[in-house]
């Protein structure tokens, strides 16, 4: 997938677009820290690694343990759905094949459900 979508820059741009939507979402924005920049870098690195790119995330942050890392944020159905809606909008705004987009969308939907902790 990493190669199919064009490498690291794809994930940087996807995350940039996703965060623009998060910033405009008053209730979701409250969950995020004041400085959004470090989180953008971590999310892009994680996604690039997950989809077959370099292991930058693990080198910089250690084992992902994503569910555990999300425990400090209250994530219920509403937060999960908002997160997914923004990520899917960002995804379909990218130049990407329908096949690749569908595969990533499925991943985002199911993983975001696993992240729910309320």
50 vs 93, beta carbon nearer ligand HEM: 50
Considering the rule CB under 6 A, would residue 117 count as an interface residue with ligand HEM? Answer: no
Considering just the CA atoms, what is the radius of gyration of the chain in Å?
Answer: 14
Residue 48: its H or E element = helix 37-50
- Nearest residue relative to ligand HEM (C-beta): 39
The span of 4-12, 13-21, 72-80, 98-106 binding ligand HEM (CB under 6 A) equals 72-80
Considering the rule CB under 6 A, would residue 51 count as an interface residue with ligand HEM? Answer: no
Contact residues for 8 (Cβ-Cβ < 8 A; gap 6+): 2, 44, 48, 53, 54
Closest CA to 1 of 110, 108, 109: 108
Give the interface with ligand HEM as residue ranges (CB under 6 A): 28, 31-33, 38-39, 42-43, 46, 61, 66, 69-70, 73, 75, 79-80, 83, 108, 111-112, 115
């Amino acid at each position: 997938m990493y190669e199919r979508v064009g490498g690291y820059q794809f994930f940087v741009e996807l995350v940039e677009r996703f965060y623009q939507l998060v910033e405009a979402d008053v209730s979701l924005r409250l969950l995020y820290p004041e400085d959004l920049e470090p989180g953008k870098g971590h999310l892009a690195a994680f996604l690039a690694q997950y989809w077959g790119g370099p292991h930058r995330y693990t080198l910089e942050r250690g084992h992902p343990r994503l569910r555990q890392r999300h425990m400090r944020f209250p994530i219920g159905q509403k937060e999960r759905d908002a997160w997914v809606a923004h990520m899917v909008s960002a995804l379909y705004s990218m130049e990407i094949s329908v096949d690749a987009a569908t595969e990533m969308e499925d991943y985002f939907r199911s993983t975001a459900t696993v992240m729910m902790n309320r």
